[in-house]
Each structure stands twice: as structure tokens, then as C-alpha cells.
Amino acid sequence: MTQPFFIEVGCEEIPARFLASLSRQFYLNLGEELQSSGLRNHQAQLQTAYTPRRLAVWIDQILERQPDREEEIVGPPVKAACDAQGSYTPAALNFAKKFGGAAEDLYKVTTLKGEYIALRRKIAGQSAAEILSGIILRAWNRMELPRSMKWDESGFRFIRPVRWLVVLLGSEVIPVRLGEVASGRITRGHRTLGSQAIELQRADGQAYCNLLEKNFVLVRTEARRERIQAGLRQQTPEIKSQAVEDAELLEILVNLTEFPTVIRGEFNRQFLELPREVLVTVMRNHQRYFALQSGDQGTLAPGFLAVANQDQDRDGLIRQGHERVLRARFNDALFFWRHDRRRSLADRLEDLQHITFHAKLGSYHDKTQRMLRLADPLCEALNIAPLKDAVRAAMRQAKCDLNTDLVIEFTELQGQIGGRIAQAEGQDEMVWQAIYDHYLPLGGSDSIPRDLTGAAVALADKLDTLAGMFAIGEIPSGSRDPYALRRAGNGVVRILIEKQLSVSLQLLQGKALESFELNADAGRTAEAELRRFFSERQESYFQAVNDSASRDEKYPMEEIQAVLQALEVVDALHAASDPYRAWVRLQALHQIRTDQPVIFVQAAEVFKRLRNIVQQAGGIHEWLNQTPHLDDVYPEGIEKALYRQISAITLPTPETIQQKEYEDYLLKTAQCASEVEKYFNEVRVNDPNPDDRKRRLSFLAWATVQLGRVADLGRLSI
């Protein structure tokens, strides 16, 4: 026999951002608890619906009673349970009696600990009505809550107060308590439009939804979403105006209302003088309105769409109210904008002396000067010398919006406001866009500066912050990263890779550190810490790429490690601190290893053979550069031949970094296989003659480094 089951937990408004996840947890937990209790009937689907004021779950059928089951109980060990004749001792008989059995029910089992006696007993299933309360409480208590609260003497905790509870099995109320709230059959409608005492006769989800709809509650999220979407279309009948698409805002509004109605409002065209970002931030983030834009140009129209928690705007009062609030906010912003425009952006540079960047690192004026010092080396390293003037102009003004009224009011628009002021002043497009973009990227999925001028300013800003913070020992560790330095580091790596900029980070970070005038020891420490930090940031970038890639497009961890640990760190080029090169090397390595496994194995074996001998003799560093590596150092024969072959394998130049060239590099490494074979057959490395031995080990060290530049091939499994 089965019965329908229904539960609704009524709450004061649950925050929109947590609603979907709480509902889902409750639904999944209930499903699991019903399953493990044996009440679940697999013909029936568990269903869920929610609004800010309620979490509901129902199912058409659960079993009225758990199935009976058998359980094995293990008793005393055989040693104690049986006497010498093999008959049961009083201990065994007592055990049987205790669990409602007799001597003939006993049998022997072998466990890991030895032989024991045991018996089976039948356990009669309990009725759903008896066990549902426990099931519900377990499901409820297993929810992972964000910051929770107490509201009454019971001390019961939830994200907001629980105020009513409906629990029905068939047409019966199942008694359960959540804190001081006891279950019943009375639910509530919309706060101001519906009845506050609606009786539910049966555990019927569909009837519940219908009844609540009559009381101005759309319990199903799809129903609220559809009503909003229909309203958005309906309120913009003209082809030219459209609500700016915004799935995130839509979900917030779905989770903020029980009966959403779209209301269109207008604002004075004069407000369009404000930067678009300000208008959109006020409408979207502060007021939760959809902005309107004219279809073709994407320019904003002087109107908005608000979503009210009401069935209609009978007297137009809601529209009037929303329009007045927006007018007040826009008036504030316009006041700020016009006030800010009274001075030129560049003119504000001196003001930055009064804005502290960090107590130990000076003001934003100091920071600007440091960024400017990075302009030349950065532009040269990035090969964008012609942009130098634009970069410097943007750097000079990048932080100048920090004391504008608009940025003080809308902190999240820093950079963008400065960019817009520079644009309104008629500054060069490259310059204002670079000011606008230089905080980017703000997160993993955020965009990066649109052009190279912006990229250079963004890099200088982030490199300066990192160098400064590392110089004063503010190094992120574990979950401690109060200055979001990892985000800045990720930004540097992303910009370099995605803009395809090949540059040595070590060189740049060295330049950035110069401004802080550390003594030699402290300088070395900071540099080493930064190098480690950037290596982690690169790894994290590669992992992020992996995370979003499909399963067979992921880069194996050992390949990432091998690329980041390439032996190039040993020599002066430091290309392992060049994120873009590392990225290309990873792709080349992955390509060869996947498509031409035989070639890869050959290359890796060549590498390992050369390296192993040097390692046994004391290591690469011991022997590197013990002899000059010149053609006439090597005697004719295999030694000269192999030297020539390996020294002919060259790396791509910075101008022409291409994956193909790195692949060639690996191919040529593999092609050394027969010569290497011959070398070891003909040459005795550990020759009794010390000069020969030195020359040969030094050669092998050099060759290992030479062939390990794409990746530390020794780290890879073959």
C-alpha cells in the first residue's frame, strides 16, 4: 500500500542567493533518507518547489510500511558458547533468549576475529507514520547552511526563522517539530494578496500549487520565470527597446518574489549623459531593474523594467515609486559626475598623495610613479615600443579616479569611471581604454584588457602590487590572501598567455622590485618567493584550462609539471618564467606525446640516457660549463658528430614562437637516438684521463640542458 507524502517548510524571506541550493539540498536529503528507510517506491518521482517563503517537497507514493527484514546478530565466541561436548553453555542460551530466539536458532559464523555463534532475527517494518518525523529531521539537519541564526528560545538554527510547517501523509498530519514550530495542515498565501490560513486536505502537490496560485503564490520557479520573461516581452512592444539580457538578474528576481509582475518605468533622457556603467550599476545592482536598450546600437534607452512582488500596478503607484527612487539615485550620480568633471583627470594626480595604497608602500601617487618607471622596460620587453607614449599617459592617470565622488560612491567602477572621464575629455582612444581596462581581469572568467596598451598598464599595476607586497613580506599563504595577490598573479599570467606575449617574468619582477630598494639578501628572498609564486600561478592557469576542458582534452598533470620544471631555468634565458612560452611548450609536448608516441619515447630515452650519467657523476650543475662548448673542443668522430647534431637544435626566437617549432625540437631530439647509441658504444665517459672525463661529463651536462628546454622529459612516464 502506498500514500502520497507532502512537506512544506514556511519561512521568513530566505535570501535569494541561497534559496535554490537550500531547496535542492532539502530535496536530495529527503530522497536519500526515504530511500535508506525503505519507504521509497521507485515508481514515483520526488518533486520540489520553492519561493522565498517556503521549501516544499512531495511525492505521489511512498510505502505505508517498511518491508520486514532479517538481521544477523553475532554473539559470544564459540569457545565460550560451547562446552567440551559441543552443547551450548548458559552464555549461549542467554544470548539466544535476549534476542527472542532458542537454542535451535543458533549457528556458527566465522569472522575475522574467529568463530562465533550467531542468530537471525526478523525485524518487522515500521509504519511510515511512525518514522517520517525522524526522516524529515535527519534530512533537515543534514543541510549545509551558510551563516545561520537563532530566533526563539528553542535555539533552533536556520538561515531565517521557520514560521510554519505542513507535513501530510495521505490526508493525515504527521507530527514533527522544527524548533518551536509544530506541523499542521495550514499554509499561507502571498503576504499582502493571499489568505494567511489555507488548509491543505491531502498530500497532493498539484492541488497545492493550484491552491497557492489562487492566493498569488507561484510556487514553481519555472512559473515565476515564465511570468517575468513574458512580462519583459510584453512591456517592450516596440521593436527598438529591449531589456538588456541578464540571466543572473532574472534568477535573483525569480528567487525574490512569490508573484512577479514586470512594470515599466521611464527616466529623464538627460540622465543618459551619465556613463553607461553608472546607469547600469544603479539599475541592475542597486535596484535590480533590467536596463532598456535600443535594439540596433545597443545604446541605453531612458527606461527600465522593474519586477514587483505584486499581481498588478492598479493605480500606477508602484511605477511612480520605482521611478522616484531611480530619479533620486540618478540625480545623486549626475551631481557627482558633473562635479567630478569640473577638474581634468590628469589634474587629480597630485591628490593621490593623500590616498594611501599601503602604509608601508606609500600613496597611490608613489604607486603611479613606480608604474611609470616600469613603462620603458615593460614596453621594450613586450616589443611594443611604439605604444610607449600611450602607455605612459594611461599609467599617469590610471589611479586618478580614486578620489572622484563617483568612485567613492560606486567603488566597483574604479578604472571605468576614469576611462569614461578621459573619453569625455576627448583623450586618445588607446589611452582612455587602457585606463578603463587596467583592473582587468577581476576573476577567472572575466575579460582581459582589450588591447596591448591596456595590457601593459594592467601588467605594470599588478607587477608593482606583487613586488611591493612581497618586498614587505605580505606573501599569500593557505587561505590567507587579504590583498587578493593570487588574483593579481593569475591576471598577469592570463594576460601574457592570452595576448601571446613572450617575456621573462623574472626580468619584469626584478625591474618592479628595484623600486623598493631592498638590500641584497631581502631582494634575493623576494625574488625567489615571487618566482615560486608565479610558477604556482601558471600551474593554476593550466589547471583552470583543464577544468573547463572535456575529459580527453585535458593535459595530464605530469606534462604540466614537466613543462614548468623545464631545465631552461638553469640557464640565463629563464624561459620557464615565460608563461606564454610555457603554454606553447605544453601544447607541443602534449601533441607529440599523443600523436607520435614512438617519437616521444625515443626523445625521452635520449634525454634520460644523457642525464643519468651526469647525475651519477655529481649532477648537472657540477659539470655544466666546465669546458667551453665549441666545435674544435671535440675530437673528430662520434663526439664531434653528436655535439654538432645537438647544437643544431635551436629554440624558436621570441618573434616566432610557434608550437610547430617546439614539436620540431622534440623530433630532432628523437633523431639523436642512433648517434647517442653510438656515442655510448664508442666513448668511455668515465675515462681514466681526467681531461677526457671532464670534457665528456661537461658535454653531457650541456646536452641535457639543451634537450630539456621544452620540458623535463625525465619526469614523464614512458
- Residues in contact with other proteins by CB under 8 A are 12-13, 15-17, 52, 147, 149-153, 155, 159-161, 163, 180, 191-193, 196, 256-257, 263, 268, 270-271, 287, 289, 306, 308-310, 314-315, 317-318, 320-332, 334-335, 338, 354, 356, 358-359
How far lies 176's CA from each of 47, 201, 326, 669, in Å?
20, 18, 46, 73
CB of 9 to other proteins, least distance (A): 15
CB of 368 to other proteins, least distance (A): 17
Q: For the residues of 200-222, what is the DSSP string, one character each?
A: --SS-HHHHHHHHHHTT---SHH
CB of 115 to other proteins, least distance (A): 55
* CA dist., res. 670 & res. 692, Å (int): 26
- For residue 238, the 8-state DSSP code is S
CB of 350 to other proteins, least distance (A): 15
> At a CB cut-off of 8 Å and minimum separation 6, what does 607 contact?
669, 704, 707, 708, 713, 714
C-alpha grid cell, residue 79: 569457545
Helix residue spans in 549-578 (DSSP H) = 557-564
- For residue 342, the 8-state DSSP code is T
Among 442, 444, 469, smallest CA distance to 458 is for 442
How far lies 262's CA from each of 224, 254, 308, 312, in Å?
11, 12, 6, 9
Q: Which is nearer to other proteins, 161 or 444 (CB)?
A: 161
Q: Which is nearer to other proteins, 91 or 252 (CB)?
A: 252
Residue type present at position 496: L
Q: Which is nearer to other proteins, 260 or 708 (CB)?
A: 260
Q: Using the structure block, give the residue that is written with the C-alpha cell 597630485.
A: 350
Q: Using the structure block, give the residue that is written with the C-alpha cell 519583459.
A: 232
Which helix (H) or strand (E) segment holds residue 69: the answer is: strand 69-77
Q: Which is nearer to other proteins, 356 or 543 (CB)?
A: 356
Q: Which is nearer to other proteins, 356 or 625 (CB)?
A: 356
Q: Which is nearer to other proteins, 138 or 288 (CB)?
A: 288
CB of 251 to other proteins, least distance (A): 14
Among 400, 428, 396, smallest CA distance to 416 is for 400
Tell me if 260 sits within 8 A of 16, measured CB to CB.
no
Q: Which is nearer to other proteins, 256 or 463 (CB)?
A: 256
Cα–Cα–Cα angle for 108, 112, 114, nearest 5°? Answer: 45
Q: Is 115 helix (H, G, I), strand (E, B) or coil?
A: strand
C-alpha grid cell, residue 186: 495550514
Q: Which is nearer to other proteins, 194 or 441 (CB)?
A: 194
Q: Which is nearer to other proteins, 180 or 389 (CB)?
A: 180
Q: Which is nearer to other proteins, 263 or 638 (CB)?
A: 263
Q: Which is nearer to other proteins, 243 or 306 (CB)?
A: 306
* CA dist., res. 340 & res. 404, Å (int): 6
CB of 14 to other proteins, least distance (A): 8
CB of 11 to other proteins, least distance (A): 11
* CA dist., res. 592 & res. 479, Å (int): 38
Partner residues linked to 261 by β-bridges? 308
Q: Is 143 helix (H, G, I), strand (E, B) or coil?
A: coil
Q: Which is nearer to other proteins, 151 or 680 (CB)?
A: 151
CB of 325 to other proteins, least distance (A): 4
Q: Is 671 helix (H, G, I), strand (E, B) or coil?
A: helix
CB of 648 to other proteins, least distance (A): 58
Q: Which is nearer to other proteins, 11 or 492 (CB)?
A: 11
Among 127, 120, 158, smallest CA distance to 25 is for 158
* CA dist., res. 372 & res. 394, Å (int): 10
Q: Which is nearer to other proteins, 256 or 381 (CB)?
A: 256
* CA dist., res. 171 & res. 161, Å (int): 27
User: How would you list the strands of the sheet with 162-169, edge to edge?
Assistant: 46-51, 54-63, 2-11, 162-169, 172-173
CB of 163 to other proteins, least distance (A): 6
CB of 603 to other proteins, least distance (A): 54
CB of 210 to other proteins, least distance (A): 22
* CA dist., res. 413 & res. 432, Å (int): 14
Q: Could you write out the three-class secondary structure of 27-76?
A: HHHHHHHHHHHCCECCCCCEEEEEECCEEEEEEEEEECECCCEEEEEEEE
C-alpha grid cell, residue 214: 489562487
Q: Which is nearer to other proteins, 257 or 506 (CB)?
A: 257
Number of Cβ atoms within 10 Å of the Cβ of 513? 22
Q: Using the structure block, give the residue that is written with the C-alpha cell 628595484.
A: 514
CB of 532 to other proteins, least distance (A): 27
CB of 232 to other proteins, least distance (A): 16
Q: Which is nearer to other proteins, 197 or 549 (CB)?
A: 197
Q: Which is nearer to other proteins, 265 or 708 (CB)?
A: 265
Tell me if 199 sits within 8 A of 185, measured CB to CB.
yes
Tell me if 271 sits within 8 A of 279, measured CB to CB.
yes
Q: For the residues of 406-450, what is the DSSP string, one character each?
A: HHHH-GGGTTHHHHHHHHHTT--HHHHHHHHHTT---STTS---S
Cα–Cα–Cα angle for 359, 360, 362, nearest 5°? Answer: 70
Q: For the residues of 152-184, what is the DSSP string, one character each?
A: STT--EESS-EEEEEEEETTEEPP-EETTEEPB
Among 126, 125, 136, 219, smallest CA distance to 174 is for 136
Q: Which is nearer to other proteins, 27 or 330 (CB)?
A: 330
CB of 373 to other proteins, least distance (A): 24
* CA dist., res. 373 & res. 660, Å (int): 37
